[in-house]
Amino acid sequence: MTYGEFFALCLQEWRSEARADVTSLRLTDESYLELCEDLIAEGADYELNVLPKGSLAKGVRPTVRCVQNPVTRGVVHLHGGADADAAEVFTAAEFRTVAVA
């Protein structure tokens, strides 16, 4: 998944009738690494996963833990290792307030 595809997904979900907010992406390893590289190259607002000391010297690439949704400014958590790319979205219809005694 490229940064452009991520942005388009966020925009499409927000413009939908449900006004959905992308909150999590579960991606294949290939899509996850592609998106991580694009986010870093684009200078998007993201947080990197913590790497053990010396990892970069061993050729381990940094990966992104979460990124800011470019449309809603909410946090989008990123996960690799999925069998297929999927997004989790939040809609106001699924949110409810519960009284606390």
Note the pLDDT tens digit of each residue in 6-62: 999 999 999 988 888 999 999 999 999 899 888 888 887 777 765 566 655 566 666
Whole-prediction pTM value?
Answer: 0.79
**CB 9, CB 87: distance < 8 Å:** yes
User: What is the SS3 assignment for 2?
Assistant: coil
Distance CA 75, CA 45 (A): 10
Distance CA 70, CA 51 (A): 26
Could you tell me which residues are beta bridge partners of residue 95?
none
Residue 52: what pLDDT? 61
Distance CA 31, CA 85 (A): 8
Tokens of 14: 């927000």
